[in-house]
Structure 1
């Protein structure tokens, strides 16, 4: 059976003998069809908000409006979302002073070229756009998170008369789902606040997993921060493999988000198909631009690979590692169990940058070896305790050698960030 796997802006294919293939884990999300265009979906959602008045109503009398938008690492179809949102805000107040604030979290700054690619040249030329920096942007402390960490948010948000956000909803490997409240935390929060929320205690929590919101301490902190920051309205979409919106919700940050999560869950939950070798991806561009982000797609494989098996991860990684701290936490210590012990001994106020990603990465490495197909230098991949490969065929041969069986069972996950694998 020939299976294609997204890799950057192209695909890599391989033939897998059917007697070895345990399953191809894909969500019906990618086969879901709608006759409406992306803009029509967004406009319809804006006309029918959930748990909230219309955005145009909220905008009346509000002069200083901040519209939080996702950054370059998120495949949000902003060209279909931002213009209708701007139109709706100006319908309520034609003279509103609108700032589009890019929610980078702790990511690098979004470039001008990436902004044009994301929003289109017209929006970039005509609108006021600022990029959040978790270390240098002006910040305000607005309270203490339920977990005990300081809640420090970009001053632009706190000073606004109206705060709204766009985004998309996908399975998230420790926040349950992306979207909504994540526009605030980690989106426009200080590094101090992000580190406290992503502490080792929470990352190790059994409820801090894909598809779980209730009882998830990371999610609960995020909701508290978003409410405190007065996030008044969201527009979130669900996207398919082509990164096109197939469903949209608008309105209250909790109620509208819940409807989006319900829709997504109905399409992307899949049963695990245990195998010796599991092949996964990060869904291609833009989510596979660095190694750091690729850990997400690996967690889908983690849920279905056998103990002692092999995960083959495909991620182009043309933008490099994605986190220097992440790299050194892995590369500077050969004993990953020792590193895990150090993380678990730290309290939330001493969390170090990227340790949450490293903690999850070590957790899956303790279950299976990882062969990494990418454009990253081999020495970088080895430093991260993975085995480099430059084609699927090469990776599969290496995996068969590791498990000691050239007839080893295989499970394929063409898009590891679009499925919720149920063990």
Structure 2
């Protein structure tokens, strides 16, 4: 027998499994951690990828717009932004010529306190902060229509600046393939209708077809969701990009800077190298954790574990998820979609008006439906809610394992994913 400790909230769940049945224990690959973050950012600005150094792109007197991610994203903007601004200052750009645009997408505006958390108190004191509002058409300008028929409207202040700089973080994304890069433009600072049109591409072309199979984690080549964003960013043509890259454990492992697309693509390669794990066989049972708190604070966050674990599991297999979910009913808009049983009707409504929480709920429910059974290890007060989603709750991992073991053949295989939300199984037959 082999012992495993699986993250669960702020604690762990323990289980002993027959060693000869274990197919994989998947973890992110080892990566060197960046200890001097400010120095790494400075190097990305001065030794960029397929671009002149930032100080050679801007000139004294330029107005500069810097797009930053909102508080829902792990970026380390509070470290990056002071270095970026110092470089601009040295090139002759004064503080009063710099505007920070918070790329909310469809999210709510920051409070002043949240601006300080994301950007640092000194930066919010020195620089003008703008909260992007995707629903305020008076602040948007049309830049063109993509080949997918998306009329793209972008924040006017970003377009009017002499120089536009994108920041963010590259990560796996369950629809766009990877986050970061062009996402700072669309959905980051785009209009609501442009965002909804783009996101609707994550649904299959034919009504009733469910999710578009090309819109998935680490998928870029035939991904319309990604290519639509790419076309929108090309219309805007940002002048420079700085993105951070993190390991599955949340440690900074790289900072990429330079051309808005080429530097981001290098970041994608880094993410795949650290979080992508090749597998040659899928398991009968996959035991997956989102990674513990705060990644399993609620089901909305925990869904990322399903979206990666499914790649490690045979179609019609069994998944066991350890999800503490102390705030299981939050956010309310997500849970309203997640607990609905008629998936055909959900798809129809998403086609009429695409909402990201609704789609995440829909895609996760489709994954659950594709499995023979999904067991969820969670706190007892969540049991009734889990049952509403067609899953089976369990008080601990051992109990879930005892039930799951009865549903698989005698010569079963099992894969363990302790940080499934940030570990991507790359299945190669």
TM class, shorter-length: 0.7 to 0.9
Give the deviation of 1:79 after TM superposition. 2.8
The equivalent residue for 2:140 is 139
- Tell me the alpha carbon deviations over residues 237-266 of structure 1, each in whole angstroms, 9 at most, x when there is no partner: 211244232111101111111112223323
Deviation for aligned residue 1:289: 4.1
Residues in 1 aligned to 2:392 and 2:70: alpha-carbon distance in whole angstroms: 30
Partner residue in 2 for 1:194: 195
Q: State the secondary structure of the residue aligned to 1:366.
A: helix
Contact 1:327 1:383 in 2 (8 A): no
1:313 aligns with 2:321: yes
Q: What corresponds to 2:374 in structure 1?
A: 370
Partner residue of 2:168?
Answer: 167
Give, in whole Å, the separation in 2 of the partners of 1:373 and 1:103. 35
Distance 2:301 2:375 in 1: 16
Specify the alignment match of 1:94 in structure 2: 93
CA distance, structure 1, for counterparts of residue 242 and residue 336 of structure 2: 37
Cα 1:2–1:121 shift into 2, 3 Å? farther
**Change beyond 3 A, Cα 1:276–1:240:** same
8 Å CA contact 1:165–1:233 kept in 2: the answer is: yes
- Please list the CA deviations of residues 64-97 of structure 1 after superposition, one character each: whole Å capped at 9, or x if unmatched: 3221112222222223322211112222233242
Please list every run of 5 or more consecutive structure 2 residues that lacks an aligned counterpart in the other structure.
Answer: none
Give the alignment partner of residue 358 of structure 1, picking from 358, 361, 364: 361
Structure 2 CA distance for partners of 1:404 and 1:276, relative to 1, 3 Å:
closer
Greater Cα offset, 229-238 or 390-399: 390-399
- Quick check: 1:279–1:411 contact (8 Å CA) kept in 2? yes
The match for 2:246 is 239
**Who is 1:56 aligned against?**
55
Alpha-carbon distance between aligned partners in 1 of 2:54 and 2:21, rounded to the nearest angstrom: 53
Give 1:285 shift. Answer: 5.2
CA RMSD of superposed structures (Å): 3.1
Alignment of 1:108-257 (within 5 A): 108-136=108-136, 138-199=139-200, 200-201=203-204, 204-257=211-264
Within 1, Cα distance between the matches of 2:25 and 2:375?
A: 19
2:312 matches 1:304: yes
The alpha-carbon distance between structure 1 residues 270 and 35, as it changes in their structure 2 partners (threshold 3 A), is closer
Cα deviations by residue, 1:169-227 (Å, 9 ceiling, x for unpaired): 12222211111001111122222222111111368333322212222111111111112
List alignment gaps of at least 5 residues for structure 1.
Answer: none
The whole-number CA distance in structure 2 between the counterparts of 1:2 and 1:83 is 45
Greater Cα radius of gyration, structure 1 or 2: 2
Asked whether the equivalents of residues 174 and 210 of structure 1 are also in contact (C-alpha less than 8 Å), the reply is yes
3-state SS of paired residue (1:12): strand
Number of residues of Structure 1 aligned to a counterpart in Structure 2: 414
8 Å CA contact 2:26, 2:417 repeated in 1: yes
- Alignment match, 1:70: 69
